Amino acid sequence: QVQLVQSGAEVKKPGASVKVSCKASGYDFANYDINWVRQAPGQGLQWMGWMNPNSANTGYAHQFQGRVSMTRDTSKTTAFMELTGLRSDDTAVYYCAINYFHFPYWGQGSMVAVS
Amino acid sequence: SYDLTQPLSVSVALGQTARITCVGNNIGSKSVHWYQQMSGQAPVVVIYRDTNRPAGIPERFSGSNSGNTATLTISGAQGGDEADYYCQVWDSYSWVFGGGTKLTVL
């Protein structure tokens, strides 16, 4: 079955960077874009961007351009999301999700606290 | 940027019908997807492409989309349906989520 398993919780200082991983299994990793969505405490879902694991092409939401980088390691079927210049309002749960015309599969989420 | 507006909260009596709206400019021309998020859990799709229900989602969940409003309908709401619900569309090379609606079953 399709699974997306994300890395564990992180605590970072303001100004630092964080890199969250998303290990995919149960499907052909190269065939479906990986998207990243975050959710601040008590807030809604915020889309961050997408990455095509085959081509490594990316597309980022305007508010994250210049601070976010989405990459992959195809040999390990793992996607990564790195966010730099962390601020307190980056404190959130970060999710990866497969794009198949919508988001049918999600990772369990990775909590990133900036303090 | 494209905006999707949802009511902050909707309440429904047990066994009655709940309707959650998602308002966007000419949203009827787009495909709308709906997600249910239980407290502390990742979102789960309950309706995709306006009206389609994934395997395992109860028949009481249905969707419609026309004009400027998409609607998620939960017929015969159960206590286990209490959750946050989000609509989603693709617009101008970006995914957009509505602000979310908290459903309370009384």
Q: Please tell me the distance in Å from B55's CA to the nearest CA on chain A.
A: 11
What single-letter amino acid sits at A86? Answer: L
pLDDT at B12: 97
Between chains, do B43 and A104 touch, taking CB under 8 Å as contact?
no
Strand partners of residue A21:
A80
pLDDT of residue B36: 98
pLDDT confidence tier of residue A26, bands split at 50, 70 and 90 = very high
B87 to chain A, minimum CA–CA distance in Å?
A: 10
* Burial of B77 from C-beta contacts in 10 A (0-12 / 13-18 / 19+): buried
Whether the CB of A59 is below 8 Å from some CB of chain B: the reply is yes
- The partner residue sitting opposite A61, judged by closest CB among B86, B94, B100, is B94
Render pLDDT for A39-98 as a digit per residue (tens, 0 to 9): 999 999 999 999 999 999 999 999 999 999 999 999 999 999 999 999 999 999 999 999
Q: Which of A94, A100, A102 to mutate to test the interface with B (most CBs of B within 10 A)?
A: A102
> Among residues A42, A43, A81, A41, which one has the least CA distance to residue A61?
A81
Query: Rounded CA gap, B76 and B38, in Å?
Result: 18
Distance from CA of A47 to the nearest CA of B (A): 6
pLDDT grade for A18, boundaries at 50, 70 and 90: very high
Which of B43, B88, B100 is opposite residue A106, by nearest beta carbon? B43
How far, rounded to the nearest angstrom, does the alpha carbon of residue A79 sit from its chain's CA centroid?
A: 8
Selected residues 13-72 of chain B with any CB under 8 Å from a CB in chain A: 31, 33, 35, 37, 42-45, 48-49, 54
Q: Which residues of chain B have pLDDT under 70?
A: none
Q: Phi and psi of A74, rounded to 5°? A: -65, -30
User: What is the DSSP-derived secondary structure letter of residue B90?
Assistant: E
